[in-house]
Amino acid sequence: MAKNLTIRHLEAKRVTPADGKNYFFGYFDKNHWDSGQQRLLVHRADFTGRQVRFGDIAEVGILENGQFTKIGETRAWCWQQGAMLQWFDDDHVIYNDFENNGFISRIVDLKTGAERKLCRAIYCLSPDRKYALSLDFARLDRERPGYGYPGVWTEILEHGWPDNDGIWLVDIEKNSAELVISIGQIVRDFNREGMDQSTSWFNHILISPDSKRFGFFHRWRKFGPWGPGVRSHVTHMFTANLDGSDIYPLNLEDMSSHYAWISPTQIINYSNRFKDGWQYHLFTDKSSKVETLGEKYFDDDGHCTFSPDHKWMLTDSYPDPVDSCRALYLYNIEKDIAYEIGRFYADPSYDGPARCDLHPSFSADGKTICFDSIHEGFRGVYNVDLREFLAAEGN
């Protein structure tokens, strides 16, 4: 948990209806709002508190002035990252779905309702909207339930580190996909003891702001020392060009967790480094330069992003074992001051893949925070207005 914080709790307003449904957006690395910051993308589900099963349906839609307008339905979703629902532009949205025994993505025209299908489910979009990156969501679901999609089995899942699966580059205009980095390639080129005797997978792919490079995690199973039969995993973090060339090992020191690109060359990542342990680290791509942020405040993992002006780091926490509350934090990088701006109860029964992380993100102008929470007994989406807080801080 964080320490030495200034407590300044701000009002969190629920923006989704209290209609017996469960609303959420998903991961913190995507933008909730359209460019005018009036419309929010959300998922809506009839149930909560358990893992998603194959065949479970979530609605995807737009929230405006407290009203939900349905766009479509999906059978390719999870609680942590949803259906990768996001704005393609102000007139189109994109999300993943299941069709004809496989995972695809749909681009929907909000004005006409016309739909275009892409050949693969996407993990992330390039900011210029020319490309997407994809991976095997069935492998991801098996190894990290709550992040992939259940219900699909292929023979390739029997292979621990295949050469014919990995990260795929999707050309959106051509609707074609090319394997650019295979799991087998990474296992051979960056091998570590026991890696080739285990199962590997890729996760957390994110393209840089200039659409030229991307980050990704290579994870593999490790057994012990937590007891016989207990599984854990190790993470190596890499960057590469969109075509899979010029792979750079950004962090090979045991573990990387949540991260975000904050410029075309810099990544903020909560990670474990031999020098200073678990900290928020600021990496410079293709460089050995690594800085530590907020070392005297944060000693626990969180979903970290920067404000548009790069003055503030926004992050959160996992539940405090004392009161089962998740905290929301703002860290003023220039002044080296950290604030707890909210605490939200998380029912302990919503555990593992069914948990509700806050996954906070800034609006495009940096004046609003949006996050998911279950502190009212159902999943909802909440906004925090930062304008008075920022004015008091001289921003």
User: Quick one: pLDDT at residue 70?
Assistant: 97
281 compared with 31, residue with greater pLDDT: 281
Query: Do 58 and 44 touch, CB atoms closer than 8 A?
Result: yes
Encoded amino acid at 5, one letter: L
Distance CA 287, CA 308 (A): 24
Q: With bands split at pLDDT 50, 70 and 90, how would you rate the model's confidence at 372?
A: very high
End-to-end CA distance of the chain: 27
pLDDT tens digits, 107-128: 999 999 999 999 999 999 999 9
Nearest-angstrom CA–CA distance, 294 and 6: 13
Mean pLDDT, rounded, for 268-296 = 94
pLDDT-derived band at 206, boundaries 50, 70, 90: very high
User: What integer pLDDT is reported at residue 3 of this predicted model?
Assistant: 84
* Eight-state DSSP code of residue 1: -
Mean pLDDT score, 122-147: 96
What would the pLDDT profile of 299-336 be if each residue is shown by its tens digit?
A: 889 999 999 999 999 999 999 999 999 999 999 999 99
- Worst-scoring range by mean pLDDT, 170-184, 229-243, 288-302, 352-366? 229-243
On the question of pLDDT at 390 being above 50, the answer is: yes
**What is the spatial distance between Cα 179 and Cα 40, in angstroms, rounded to a whole number?**
33
Q: Collect all residues with Cβ–Cβ distance below 8 Å to 235 and sequence separation of at least 6.
A: 217, 218, 219, 254, 255, 256, 257
Confidence of residue 223 (pLDDT cuts 50, 70, 90): low
User: Mean pLDDT across the stretch 337-341?
Assistant: 97
Q: In this predicted model, what pLDDT tens digit does every residue of 14-41 receive, in sequence order?
A: 999 999 999 999 999 998 899 998 999 9
Average pLDDT over residues 3-15: 95
What is the enclosing helix (H) or strand (E) of 233? strand 231-241
Confidence band of 226 (pLDDT split at 50, 70, 90): very low
Return the percentage of the chain with pLDDT > 70, whole number: 97
Domain spans of the chain, in order of start: 6-392
Helix (H, G, I), strand (E, B) or coil at 70: strand
Residues above pLDDT 90, as percent of the chain: 87
pLDDT tens digit sequence for 46-92: 999 999 999 999 999 999 999 999 999 999 999 999 999 999 999 99
Instruction: Give 1's pLDDT tier (boundaries 50, 70, 90).
Output: low
| Least confident window among 95-99, 208-212, 222-226 | 222-226
- In the predicted model, what is the mean pLDDT of residues 114-143? 97
Residue 150 has pLDDT above 70, yes or no: yes
CATH number, span 6-392? 2.130.10.10
The answer on pLDDT for 224 being more than 70 is no
pTM (2 decimals)?
Answer: 0.95
Q: Where residue 225 falls among pLDDT bands split at 50, 70, 90? A: low
For residue 227, what pLDDT is reported?
43
Q: What is the pLDDT of residue 231?
A: 63
What single DSSP character describes residue 389? H
Spatial distance between the Cα atoms of 323 and 384, rounded to a whole number of angstroms = 22
pLDDT at residue 230 greater than cutoff 60: no
- The answer to whether 338 and 2 are in contact (CB under 8 A) is yes
